[in-house]
Amino acid sequence: MSGNVSKRLRASSGSEIRRAAAGASEAAGAAGTAGAFADAAHPLPPAGGLCMSSEGGVPPGTAIADATATASDARTAFAANTKDAKDTKDTTSRPSLAAANHATGPVRPGALAGLKIIDLSRVLGGPYCTQALADHGARVIKIEPPAGDETRGWGPPFLDDDAWYFTGVNRNKEGIVLDLSRDEGRAILWRLLEDADVLVENFKPGTLARWGMDYERDLRPRFARLVHCAITGFGADGPLGGLPGYDAVIQAMAGLMSVNGDAGGDATRIGLPIVDMVTGLNALAGILLALAERERSGVGQSIDIALYDCGVSLLHPHLPNWFGSGRTPARSGNAHPNIAPYDSYRTASAPIFLAIGNDRQFARLCAHLGVPALASDPRFIDNRSRCAHRAELKASLETRLAGRDGETLARELMAEGVPCGPVRTIDALACDPHTLHRGLVVEMGRYRGAASPIKLSRTPATYRTAPPTLGRDTRAVLDALGIDAATQARLADAGVLKEAKPMAT
């Protein structure tokens, strides 16, 4: 980089940068809360259209407050002893998904307010982690390469140019584009790190070192308080160190597929990217641990999170069972390897899942099904006996379940303290009154997503800005750094940075 460019990039002092960045962040949060991302050129269809009753959906224009009241009126405890919907014609509309966005009042600082996170991660594990940080008040600046996070193209479905896969884990973030393979791009990253608390990245091991940004050699001496979180497939060393890791590959290599699937069938991938997501959660935990320790020591540290390690950590109870017995766990379908009855069961309608955890629950189940003597049958007298006679037990139960409606039976059993639930589809789950009551769906303009499940009483999660379009915040972030418009234009022409395309009108 030329000396002149370097001087221009350092035009503002650290304190000025922090003040400008804080002001920009507060302004962006206020604008997002006010609904600035509800694009008038692309109006959102009524949310109720996704949750249709037999009589139609929520009328267009239903206000969030009205929909919240509708959800409150509509919800019933799952265990309520009410008639099944099949027995009475439902003439009420489903509540709008908007009912779930409870963060509509004055914005309160989140639990992590004041923290600045630089997010270089892509795909799922890292973004899953940083969205959780952002939901709880941290300022997250997501830096993407000029081509963008590859998950922007992982569709259909798409929201304009971005796949809903991408939008699912990238809300509440500022999005900028920098080519970090270029000296000028890295110079801007160095500036952003000056007052950062956390750096999250999932590059192949050695990438940052080649760029002169190795944690021990380069970052730690310059930024003593910085917490660095590196997410990799297999770690940086060892027999598999440095190799790329993907969720499905880790599911296969870490043994997860070997215990998933029907008995006697093929090993099966779990139907969602469980390894990526638990890696994100472990990264979140690691970051919070390092920040807590920093309060005592005053210094940061590096966190090593590998998908392989996280996959192995999920092998409960199969790995402990192998340690104890020496027998290789086998696939058993939906059945639990240690408990019975703990399986899915056919009914006259929807299948149900019974999760009987003790003998008292089993006795209640048998009594409700009209066969109390089954609980005292020597084959089923306790869990060890039931596990030894799984096939007979399942056949006996399904004979008595064959004529029952699954939804009704599940409500009745739950009311009696027997863990049971209907096997539901995604659309049924998203539109369920309890889902709405718990605030598990967020709407901001045209964006919809799953809300944070972490519910804090004084500092709840807030939903301030929709996921960024590619380069949406490049100009604002660089302006806050004191980088003038002429320099930004030159760097954009050179391909070092990119600003968002103007929104279609």
Per-run averaged pLDDT (10 residues), the chain, 505 residues: 43 37 40 33 40 37 32 35 34 40 61 98 98 98 97 95 96 98 97 98 96 97 98 96 94 95 91 97 99 98 98 96 94 89 93 95 95 95 95 93 93 94 93 94 94 96 96 96 96 93 46
Which architecture characterizes domain 352-422 according to CATH? Answer: 2-Layer Sandwich (3.30)
Kind and range of the H or E run holding 230: strand 227-232
Torsion of CA 251, 340, 325, 311, to 10 degrees: 20
Task: Report pLDDT digits (tens) over 138-167.
Answer: 999 999 999 999 999 999 999 999 999 999
Q: How high is the pLDDT of residue 332?
A: 87
Q: Which pTM was predicted?
A: 0.79
Q: How high is the pLDDT of residue 9?
A: 42
Torsion of CA 157, 163, 168, 170, to 10 degrees: -160
Q: Is the dihedral of CA 201, 202, 205, 210 positive or negative?
A: negative
Give me the DSSP letters along 252-293.
HHTTTGGGSS-TTS-----SS-HHHHHHHHHHHHHHHHHHHH
Q: How high is the pLDDT of residue 501?
A: 64
Rounded Cα–Cα distance for residues 95 and 12 (Å): 51
Phi and psi at residue 422, to the nearest 5°: -75, 150
Residue type, 242: G
Rounded Cα–Cα distance for residues 151 and 167 (Å): 9
Q: How high is the pLDDT of residue 108?
A: 74
Task: Report pLDDT digits (tens) over 319-360.
Answer: 999 999 999 998 888 889 899 999 999 999 989 999 999 999
Q: How high is the pLDDT of residue 289?
A: 99
First to last CA, the chain: 39
152: closest CA among 469, 447, 492, 449?
A: 469
Rounded Cα–Cα distance for residues 495 and 447 (Å): 29
Q: How high is the pLDDT of residue 334?
A: 86
| CA 188 to chain CA mean position, Å | 29
Task: Determine what percent of the chain is predicted with pLDDT higher than 90.
Answer: 74
Q: How high is the pLDDT of residue 1?
A: 45
Which superfamily is assigned to 111-313+446-498 in CATH?
Crotonobetainyl-coa:carnitine coa-transferase; domain 1 (3.40.50.10540)
In 16-115, where do the E strands start and end? none
Total residues belonging to the chain: 505
126: closest CA among 73, 184, 26, 198?
A: 198
Total Cβ atoms within 10 A of residue 392: 13
Q: At what angle do helices 406-415 and 359-368 cross, to 10 degrees?
A: 130
Q: How high is the pLDDT of residue 347?
A: 94
3-state secondary structure of 149: coil
Long-range contacts of 395-401 (CB under 8 A, 24+ apart): 396/371, 397/341, 397/345, 397/354, 397/369, 398/345, 398/346, 400/369, 400/370, 400/371, 401/345, 401/346, 401/347, 401/352, 401/369
Question: Can you list the alpha helix ranges (DSSP code H) found in 35-124?
Answer: 64-74
Q: What angle do CA 161, 499, 476 make, to 5 degrees?
A: 120
Total Cβ atoms within 10 A of residue 315: 17
Q: How high is the pLDDT of residue 294?
A: 98
Q: Which residue out of 276, 343, 405, 473 is catalytically annotated?
A: 276
Rounded Cα–Cα distance for residues 9 and 187 (Å): 8
Rounded Cα–Cα distance for residues 283 and 41 (Å): 38
Q: How high is the pLDDT of residue 107?
A: 65
467: closest CA among 505, 500, 496, 426?
A: 500
Active site residue 84: no
Q: How high is the pLDDT of residue 340?
A: 95
Query: Residue ranges per domain, the chain?
Result: 111-313+446-498, 352-422
